[in-house]
């Protein structure tokens, strides 16, 4: 590791920064003997900080895919755990959560007047 005097460091700061980036550390010594280390800082980034992806999905589509995948995975695990066909669960009916579409949308269903 190279050691520079304070005067050299002041005159060649850009070169010192570049050398610290390449080599990891550079020392600077003052006239009174104090020694300082110049080194690049590490970036504090989250491992979850990832770039976004454009998917052009409709609202709720991704959630639906995740739920379907979880259901299929659970069915495979149950099928493996229960080898006797009479003990296996029957398939779940697809298509909704038990309410009519008009109730989910918040609209009241009107009956035609005669």
CATH number of domain containing 20: 3.40.1620
- Total domains in the chain come to 2
Residue 107 vs residue 69, higher pLDDT: 69
The residues that bridge with 28 in the sheet, in sequence order, are 4, 36
Q: Which residue has the tokens 């980034």?
A: 45
Question: In this structure, what are the phi and psi dihedrals at residue 38, rounded to the nearest 5 degrees?
Answer: -110, 120
Is pTM beyond 0.85? Reply is no
Spatial distance between the Cα atoms of 38 and 31, rounded to a whole number of angstroms: 17
pLDDT of residue 82: 73
Per-residue pLDDT reduced to its tens digit, 45-86: 887 888 888 888 888 998 999 999 999 988 888 878 777 666
Residue 106 has pLDDT above 80, yes or no: no
Q: Does any domain span residue 81?
A: yes
Centroid of chain to Cα 72: 24
Q: Does any domain span residue 98?
A: no
Residue 31: which domain range?
3-38
Q: Does any domain span residue 108?
A: no
Q: Does any domain span residue 12?
A: yes
Residue 21 has pLDDT above 60, yes or no: yes
Whether the CA torsion 17, 21, 23, 25 is positive or negative: it is: positive
Centroid of chain to Cα 80: 32
Q: Does any domain span residue 23?
A: yes
Question: Nearest CA to 27 among 38, 15, 11, 14?
Answer: 38
pLDDT of residue 37: 94
Q: Does any domain span residue 104?
A: no
pLDDT of residue 31: 92
Q: Does any domain span residue 105?
A: no
Q: Does any domain span residue 48?
A: no
Contact 27, 46 (CB under 8 A): no
């Amino acid at each position: 590791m190279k050691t520079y005097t304070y005067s050299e460091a002041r005159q060649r700061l850009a070169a010192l920064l570049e050398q610290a980036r390449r080599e990891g550390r550079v020392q600077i010594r003052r006239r009174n003997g104090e020694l300082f280390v110049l080194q690049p800082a590490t970036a504090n980034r989250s491992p979850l900080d990832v770039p976004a992806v454009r998917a052009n999905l409709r609202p709720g589509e991704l959630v639906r895919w995740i739920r379907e995948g979880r259901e299929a995975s659970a069915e495979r695990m149950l099928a493996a755990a229960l080898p006797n066909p009479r003990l296996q669960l029957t398939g779940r009916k697809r298509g909704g959560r038990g309410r009519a579409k008009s109730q989910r949308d918040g609209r009241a269903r009107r009956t035609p007047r005669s």
